[in-house]
């Protein structure tokens, strides 16, 4: 028997399915500026090709084709869109270059005002402030503060200067202002940091939960690590690497109640964890972690959504890196962050643990509703 030709409608449906299965389609739907330069797409019905962030009406998926370069799109017979001008350097790339220049100035000079910095770059202060935050997730002031913090850390560990000289040499105008934030910046007093953190004592214990081995560590400030894994010894080595100069002390009998509360929270996230956390990270990481803690149990957010919530819509990769740097599993719920299409992505403690945590939280949220209906 002769093969029946495939109808035009069937062909369109097949092409639509191919486009929708391509991860680049999600970037087109989101008009993602972060994807600009990584690919281009053409539209069969208009004969033009665009950058992913093009503000034009989203085309039907069956009419879309993807290209790795402008040259490839033009070789296929498409012309550049007059709205997004795909051949020109994107605004994102231009802003990134400007912000890079601003960062180099802030790194080289101890103190420079926003207006002075903007004037040197030929920009207004408000415009520089906006694009700087879009690209880095930080304001110029916060970035300068982070550079001072890094300089004082280096001075305390590498130079022979006194603590006071290290503080002023890093660019701080007042030692009292630095001491007010020294615990947040260094995780301890400057003198203890200079000694390599040897005076810091961290209690820890390793237990078992339904997700495998779990290590709970507590500093004088609060919980500083909740690590998950298959090998208890590997978790201990991870803790030793993270706090190389601290005195690690095995938890005593009194510590067991804290361990039990953390394990109970991992098993039933709906219980909540009303314990102080000793969160140590960069200013950007702390902003990401704060946004993660605002995601309710049973819900998820994409990396792009988190980036937008902290005012850095193009910093999706940096958001993912901050999630990977999180050492407080479940307490800072990086497992609630998923890809834009809802699929699970990498997780520091394994995707299967991520899947289990999300399923557990979803069940905890929906069970009360089911009981109410039954009543």
- Active site positions, annotated: 50, 334
Decide: residue 248, CB within 10 A, 0-12 exposed, 13-18 middle, 19+ buried: middle
In degrees and rounded to multiples of 5, residue 118 shows phi and psi of -65, -40
Task: Tokens 């314990």: give the residue.
Answer: 275
Of 320, 309, 364, the residue nearest 344 (C-alpha): 320
Identify whether the C-beta of residue 299 lies closer than 8 Å to the C-beta of residue 322: no
d(CA 243, CA 251): 16
Q: 96-107: string of b/e by CB count within 10 Å (b at 16+)?
A: bebbeebbeebe
Structure tokens at 364: 């905890």
Q: Is 123 left (phi over 0), alpha (psi -120 to 50) or beta?
A: beta
Task: Tokens 């101890």: give the residue.
Answer: 110
d(CA 362, CA 355): 11
């Amino acid at each position: 028997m002769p093969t029946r030709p495939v109808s035009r409608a069937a062909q369109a449906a097949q092409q639509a399915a191919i486009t929708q299965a391509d991860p680049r389609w999600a970037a087109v739907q989101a008009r993602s500026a972060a994807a600009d330069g990584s690919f281009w797409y053409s539209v069969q019905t208009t004969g033009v090709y665009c950058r992913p962030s093009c503000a034009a009406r989203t085309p039907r998926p069956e009419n879309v084709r993807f290209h790795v370069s402008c040259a490839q799109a033009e070789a296929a017979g498409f012309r550049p869109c007059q709205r997004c001008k795909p051949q020109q350097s994107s605004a994102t790339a231009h802003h990134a270059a400007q912000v890079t220049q601003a960062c180099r100035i802030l790194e080289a000079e101890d103190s420079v005002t926003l207006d002075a910095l903007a004037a040197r770059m030929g920009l207004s202060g408000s415009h520089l402030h906006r694009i700087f935050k879009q690209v880095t997730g930080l304001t110029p002031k916060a970035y300068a503060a982070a550079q001072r913090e890094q300089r004082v850390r280096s001075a305390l560990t590498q130079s022979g200067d006194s603590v006071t000289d290290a503080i002023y040499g890093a660019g701080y105008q007042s030692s009292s202002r630095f001491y007010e934030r020294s615990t947040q910046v260094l995780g301890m007093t400057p003198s203890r940091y200079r000694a390599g953190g040897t005076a810091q004592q961290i209690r820890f214990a390793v237990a078992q939960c339904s997700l495998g081995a779990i290590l709970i560590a507590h500093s004088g400030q609060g919980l500083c690590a909740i690590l998950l894994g298959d090998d208890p010894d590997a978790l201990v080595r991870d803790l030793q690497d993270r706090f190389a100069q601290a005195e690690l002390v095995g938890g005593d009998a009194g510590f067991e109640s804290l361990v039990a509360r953390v394990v109970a929270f991992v098993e039933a996230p709906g219980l909540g964890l009303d314990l102080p956390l000793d969160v140590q990270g960069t200013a950007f990481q702390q902003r990401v972690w704060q946004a993660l803690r605002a995601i309710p149990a049973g819900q998820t957010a994409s990396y792009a959504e988190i980036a937008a919530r902290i005012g850095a819509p193009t910093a999706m990769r940096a958001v993912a890196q901050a999630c990977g740097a999180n050492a407080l599993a479940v307490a800072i719920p990086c497992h609630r962050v998923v890809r834009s299409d809802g699929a699970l992505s990498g997780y520091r403690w394994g995707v299967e643990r991520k899947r289990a945590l999300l399923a557990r939280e979803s069940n905890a949220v929906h069970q009360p509703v089911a009981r109410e209906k039954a009543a």
